[in-house]
Amino acid sequence: MPISIEKAVIAKIMKGGKKFEVLVDPEKALEVKGGKDVPIDDLMAVRDVFEDSKKGEHVSPDVLNKTFGTNDSRIIAIKIIREGDLQLTTEQRNRMLEEKKKAVAMLISKQGVNPQTGAPHPQDRVLRAMDEAKARVVLEKRAEEQVDEIVKAIQKIMPISFEKVQVGVRIPAEFSGKGSAVVRNFGTPSREEWASDGGYMCTMELAASAQVDLFDRLNSLTHGNVQVKIIKK
Q: In the listed set 129, 154, 179, which residue is the last one of a domain according to the structure?
A: 154
CATH number reported for the structural domain that contains residue 172 in this entry: 3.30.70.240
Q: Considering the domain boundaries, does residue 68 fall inside one?
A: yes
- The total domain count for the chain is 3
Query: Bridge-partner residues for 169, per DSSP?
Result: 202, 228
E strands along 101-190, which residues? 164-171
Q: Is the pTM of this model over 0.85?
A: no
43 with 101, same domain? no
DSSP 8-state assignment for residue 24:
E
CATH number reported for the structural domain that contains residue 61 in this entry: 3.30.1250.10
What is the rounded CA–CA span in Å between residue 194 and residue 173? 9
**What pLDDT is recorded for position 47?**
92
Q: How many CB atoms within 10 Å of residue 217?
A: 16
139 with 185, same domain? no
15 with 77, same domain? yes
**What pLDDT is recorded for position 208?**
73
78 with 22, same domain? yes
Q: Considering the domain boundaries, does residue 159 fall inside one?
A: no
What is the rounded CA–CA span in Å between residue 155 and residue 162? 12
- For residues 162 and 207, the answer to whether their CB atoms sit within 8 Å is yes
How far lies 142's CA from each of 30, 32, 134, in Å?
Answer: 9, 10, 19
- Amino acid 62 reads D
**Number of separate helices (H) and strands (E) present in the chain:** 9, 9
Q: Considering the domain boundaries, does residue 220 fall inside one?
A: yes
Q: In the listed set 69, 86, 103, which residue is the last one of a domain according to the structure?
A: 86
**What pLDDT is recorded for position 1?**
67
Q: Considering the domain boundaries, does residue 1 fall inside one?
A: no
Q: In the listed set 38, 56, 86, which residue is the last one of a domain according to the structure?
A: 86
57 with 123, same domain? no
- Maximum Cα interatomic distance, the chain, rounded to a whole number of Å: 65
54 with 78, same domain? yes
DSSP 8-state assignment for residue 175:
G
**What pLDDT is recorded for position 221?**
92
- Amino acid 20 reads F
Q: Considering the domain boundaries, does residue 3 fall inside one?
A: no
What is the rounded CA–CA span in Å between residue 57 and residue 49? 9
CATH number reported for the structural domain that contains residue 114 in this entry: 1.10.10.900
Q: Considering the domain boundaries, does residue 4 fall inside one?
A: no
15 with 82, same domain? yes
Q: Considering the domain boundaries, does residue 54 fall inside one?
A: yes
13 with 68, same domain? yes
Name every residue whose Cβ is closer than 8 Å to that of residue 36 and which is 6 or more positions away in sequence: 142
Instruction: Show pLDDT as tens, one digit a residue, over the chain (233 residues).
Output: 678 888 899 999 999 999 999 999 998 998 888 777 888 888 999 999 999 999 999 999 999 999 999 999 999 999 999 999 999 888 888 998 999 999 999 989 988 888 888 788 999 999 999 999 999 999 888 787 888 899 999 998 999 987 778 999 999 999 999 999 899 888 789 899 999 999 999 999 887 767 778 898 899 999 999 999 988 76
What is the rounded CA–CA span in Å between residue 218 and residue 76? 39
User: How many residues are there in the chain?
Assistant: 233
18 with 80, same domain? yes
129 with 142, same domain? yes
- For residues 36 and 28, the answer to whether their CB atoms sit within 8 Å is no
175 with 143, same domain? no
Q: Considering the domain boundaries, does residue 106 fall inside one?
A: yes
Nearest residue to 64 (alpha-carbon basis) of 22, 2, 34, 32: 22
Residue 217 parent element (H or E): helix 211-222
Give the domain range for residue 38: 9-86
